[in-house]
Amino acid sequence: MHKTIAQILQQEEFSKKDLISLLSADNTETELIFKKAAEVKSAYVGNSTYFRGLIELSNICTKNCFYCGIRRGNKKVERYTVPDDEVIQAAKYALDRHWGSVVIQSGERQDKEFTDRIEHLLKEISGLTGEKPGITLSLGEQKPEVYERWLAAGATRYLVRIETSNRDLFYKIHPKDGLHDFDKRIRALYDLQKAGYMTGTGVMIGLPFQTTEDLADDLIFMKELDIDMCGMGPYIEHEDTPLYEYKDLLLPLEERYRLTLKMIAILRIYMKDVNIASATALQAINPDGREEGIRVGANVIMPNITPVKYHASYNLYKGKPQIVPETDEYINNLERQIAMAGDVVGYGDKGDPKHFAKRNKK
Binding site for ligand SF4 (CB under 6 A): 61, 63, 65, 68, 70-71, 107-108, 140
Q: Give 310-327 as a DSSP string.
A: GGGG--SSTT----S---
Distance CA 199, CA 201 (A): 7
Distance CA 42, CA 282 (A): 22
Q: Give 80 or 235: the residue with its C-beta nearer to ligand 5AD.
A: 235
**Dihedral of the alpha carbons of 134, 137, 142, 146, in degrees to the nearest 10:** -30
Alpha carbon separation from 143 to 62, 65, 191 (Å, rounded): 15, 20, 9
Among 56, 108, 141, 163, binds ligand 5AD (CB under 6 A): 163
Q: How far is the CB of 354 from ligand 5AD (least distance, A)?
A: 24
Name the phi and psi angles at 276, rounded to 5: -125, 125
Task: Name the maximum alpha-carbon separation found in the chain.
Answer: 63
Q: Give 107 or 289: the residue with its C-beta nearer to ligand SF4.
A: 107
In the list ligand 5AD, ligand SF4, none, the entry touching 198 (Cβ below 5 to 8 angstroms by class) is none
E-only strand ranges, the chain: 48-58, 101-106, 134-138, 157-159, 198-201, 204-205, 229-234, 275-278, 300-301, 344-345
In the list ligand 5AD, ligand SF4, none, the entry touching 233 (Cβ below 5 to 8 angstroms by class) is ligand 5AD
Q: How far is the CB of 68 from ligand SF4 (least distance, A)?
A: 3
What would the x/- binding string for ligand 5AD be over residues 256 to 295, using CB under 6 A? -------------------------x--------------
By CB under 6 A, tell whether 182 contacts ligand 5AD.
no
Distance CA 70, CA 63 (A): 9
CA-angle at 334, arms to 329 and 340, nearest 5°:
135
Q: Which residues contact 300 (CB under 8 A, 6 or more apart)?
A: 49, 50, 51, 52, 229, 231, 275, 276, 277, 278, 351
Among 63, 157, 238, 256, binds ligand 5AD (CB under 6 A): 238
Q: How far is the CB of 67 from ligand 5AD (least distance, A)?
A: 4
Distance CA 216, CA 20 (A): 6
In the list ligand SF4, ligand 5AD, none, the entry touching 63 (Cβ below 5 to 8 angstroms by class) is ligand SF4
By CB under 6 A, tell whether 162 contacts ligand 5AD.
no
Stretch that binds ligand 5AD, among 85-93, 230-238, 253-261, 289-297 (CB under 6 A): 230-238
Q: Give 106 or 199: the residue with its C-beta nearer to ligand SF4.
A: 106
In the list ligand SF4, ligand 5AD, none, the entry touching 140 (Cβ below 5 to 8 angstroms by class) is ligand SF4
Distance CA 349, CA 50 (A): 8
CA-angle at 303, arms to 110 and 254, nearest 5°:
100
By CB under 6 A, tell whether 317 contacts ligand 5AD.
yes
Q: Scanning residues 30 to 69, which ones bind ligand 5AD (CB under 6 A)?
A: 67-68
In the list ligand 5AD, ligand SF4, none, the entry touching 107 (Cβ below 5 to 8 angstroms by class) is ligand SF4
What amino acid is encoded at 159 in this protein?
A: L
Residues within the interface to ligand 5AD (CB under 6 A): 67-68, 161, 163, 204, 233, 235-236, 238, 281, 316-317
